[in-house]
Chains A and B, each alone.
Chain A
Amino acid sequence: MHELGVTQAILDIALDKAKAAKAEKITKINLVIGEMSGIVDDCVQFYFDFLSKDSIASGTTLSFKRIPMQVRCRKCGFSFLPDNSLWSCPQCNEWDVEIIAGREFYVDSIEVE
């Protein structure tokens, strides 16, 4: 629902890094996005095409690496992917978990010419 602002932030980061490297064209932006962030890939690409059209990022492909949500049991240390409403540890049945993956939200790298 807030893809426009997020897309502007992605574009700003990429343009900033490309400028520092004196690049003439950005060809690809590699993003790492955890499953827990409410971002729709197609929607980001749509806004990106619009926001970048007069810049060196025009026509750039966005690549989304999605990270599934993963939790770790605080009692026995077992890591697992939670299955719907089952958040108890499959190993020791405790309901005491911390989220260890799925919150990623960063620009990993850009590819430039």
Chain B
Amino acid sequence: MTRELQAPADPGIRIRTELRPAEPAAASAAIGIELRDVNLSYGDNHVLHDISMDVDEKRVTALIGPSGCGKSTLLRCLNRMNDLIESARTTGSVKIKGQDIYGPGTDVIAVRRRVGMVFQKSNPFPKSIFDNVVYGLRIGGVRDRTALEAAAEKSLSLAALWDEVKDRLQASALSLSGGQQQRLCIARAIAVEPEILLMDEPCSALDPIATLKIEELIYSLKERYTIVIVTHNLQQAARVSDKTAFFWLGRLVEYGVTSDMFTNPREKLTEDYITGRFG
């Protein structure tokens, strides 16, 4: 299924134009996140309507849909980031390994350590590369220098950034390029060893080559993490995800295996969207 084109400028870069073959194991994956009747409103504005879906563990799930359809809002429900917005009200349940993160007495900070997040625009702290990567560990109480160094190397390696920065860990994170900064943010998120990684349009501010690197990274990270990615780029959803969920006006319209959904959507609305008739 996979046809690869040689890019003429740089023989090292391959541009994938077709879908990856469907994961044969997709059907048998365990449930990583279980959403039931999730509703969210900002004041009087009802943004999410009765979202119920099961996110597969150690797979990539893409959330797609036109702007304002609630996909980013849903993503931010998964680590309770919407708590920061005063007027947001959430009902329903989001279970991670059986634990409802909206249940009474939930430690939100512990939840956020289990569920890492990468944002639309890279947002490194104005500190050194090293200090950025170990920030989460430091605020978690890790003080031991060797432990921090080991964690930094491991996370940067997983984020495919180690070779580029190993000689200048004390340099400012802001001296990195945009794509490197985004990979640094991924390294920073995985340094605290979360189970789930949320990505909110992680490539929207990047050039095609940096985007390609991040996509490769996402592909390799799913061995370890359950990944949920919001994207505006349908080709990206097709390239990186195992399952895709299509949202429209705050409702989940269709959710299924990515290759099926892109070749043979069940809903007319989905078909119209992925063929570019609106959005």
B partners with A: no
Binding site for B on A (CB under 8 A): none
